[in-house]
Structures are given as C-alpha cells and as structure tokens.
Structure 1
Amino acid sequence: MISETDVMQIIVYAGNAKSLAMNAIKEAKGGEIVAAKKMLEESKSNMKIAHQHHTDILQTFASNPDESANMFLTHAQDHMMAAITVTDFTKEFIDLHEEMQELRTLIRENR
C-alpha cells in the first residue's frame, strides 16, 4: 500500500530540486557561475531521490494492480514534472549566462 509519507517524499525532494534550480538561475544571472553549477548539481541530486521514490511507487502499482491512485499522488507527480522541467532549463540558462559573461569580458578587453 502506498502511504502519504511515500508520496510526500516526492513532493519534498522535487520541491527542493525546483527551488535549488531557480536559485541557480539567479546565481548565474548575478555572474556566480560556479555557485550556480553547484546548486544545479544539488538540484539534480534531490531530483534523483524524488525519482527513486516515484519509481518505488510505480513498482507498487505494477505488483498490485488493485492499488488505487489518488489526487495526492497526482499532485506529487505534477511537482516532480515541474521540477524536471525547471532543472532541465536551468542548465541552459546557466550556459547562456556563462556565455554572456565571457562575451562581456571580451568586449571590455577589446575596447
């Protein structure tokens, strides 16, 4: 049986992953690329834990077809999908800010 605690783990870790990813974007925007990359890695670690809890729940469904899903689980999955999306885009934003920073440095050096 799937407990609320199992489902809550997805919400907690996915929420952490999303928050860390959003903060990583802010760091990158402020020019702190190293800090941003570190936060992104921490975000990915949290996402991995959320994903493992989700996998465990899916295995419960696979082994017990009579197991019922509920809105709380749907809410957790929504959190996880949003966190995955934000984490994926964060990598792109960090790369973009890093490139912009490098271009600004080149422009200053060539004035």
Structure 2
Amino acid sequence: MISETDVMQIIVYAGNAKSLAMNAIKEAKKGEIINAKKMLEESKANLKIAHQQHTTILQNFANNPEESATMFLTHAQDHMMAAITATDFTKEFIDLHEEMQELRNLIKKSA
C-alpha cells in the first residue's frame, strides 16, 4: 500500500531540488559560479532521492496491480517533472553565465 508519507517524500525532495536549482541560477547571474555549481549538485542530490522514492512507488504498482493511483501521486509526479526540467535548464544557465563572465573579463583585460 502506498502511503501519503511515501508520496509526500517525492514532493518534498522535488520541491527542494527545484528551489535549489532556481537559487543556483540567481547565484550564477550574480557571478557566483562556484556557489551556483554547488547548489546545482545539491539540487541533483535531492532530485535523486525523489526519483528513488518514485521508483519504489512504481515498483509497488507493478507488484500490486489492484493499487490505485491518486491525485496526490499525480501532483507529486508533476513536482518531480518540474524539478527535473528546472535542474536541466539550470546547468545551461550556469554555463551561459560562466561564459559571459569569462567574456567580460577578456574585454576588461583588453581595454
């Protein structure tokens, strides 16, 4: 039986992952690239926990076909997918801000 606590774990860790990813983008925008990368890694760690919990629930469904899905579980999966997307985009934004910072430094040196 899938409990609300099991489902809530997905929401909590996915929410943490998304928040960390968004804060990492803010850090990168300020030029704090090292901090941003650390936050991204922490985001990925939280996302991994959410994904592991999701996998456990899916295995439960596979082993218990009579188990019914709930709107709460659908909501949790939505949170996880949003966190995955945010984390993927965060990597790109950090790379972009890092490159822009390097270009600014080159311009300053040549001026």
TM-score, with normalisation over the residues of structure 2? 1.00
Cα root mean square deviation, aligned: 0.2
Q: Which residue of 1 aligns with 2:37?
A: 37
Q: Percent identity?
A: 85
What CA deviation, in whole Å up to 9, does each residue of 1:18-72 have, x standing for no partner?
A: 0000000000000000000000000000000000000000000000000000100
Alignment match, 2:82: 82
Aligned length: 111
Give the structure 1 partner of residue 11 of structure 2.
Answer: 11
Counterpart code for 2:98: E
Structure 1 consecutive aligned stretches of length 4 or more whose deviation exceeds 3 Å: none
Paired letter, 1:65: P
- Structure 1 position 90, deviation (Å): 0.1
Task: Tell me the distance in 1 between the aligned counterparts of 2:44 and 2:83.
Answer: 10
Counterpart of 1:95 in structure 2 is: 95
Query: Which residue is 2:107 aligned to?
Result: 107
Structure 2 unaligned blocks of 5 or more: none
